Amino acid sequence: VTAWSDVLRSKFAGAPLKNIAIALEHSTPRLGECVITASGIEGSLIYAWSAPIRETINQHGAATILIDLLPNKPVDKVAAALAKPRGSRS
């Protein structure tokens, strides 16, 4: 369960996350999609990771999931785009 903010939950619950990558720390990311829910994320990409996530939690008491929303874009390009003034762009 994730403690989303009220704003995120009200605006984005049910929204798909397409063409993303998810990985556990120190693992190779998998590409796919999932859906934001009121209490977390779910979908085929999460289900593909369910066994390794469960094993990690059993071994370490917690698991950190890394989500890359733009896996096909180099980090420097994302950083440059975020550094520009947004103006009328949301």
Question: How many distinct structural domains can be found in the chain?
Answer: 1
- In sequence order, the β-bridge partners of residue 89 are none
pLDDT of residue 27: 92
The amino acid at 21: A
pLDDT in tens, 67-77: 999 999 999 99
Report the C-alpha gap between 87 and 8 in whole angstroms.
22
Inside any domain, residue 62 = yes
Mean pLDDT of the chain: 92
Domain ranges, residue 66: 6-83
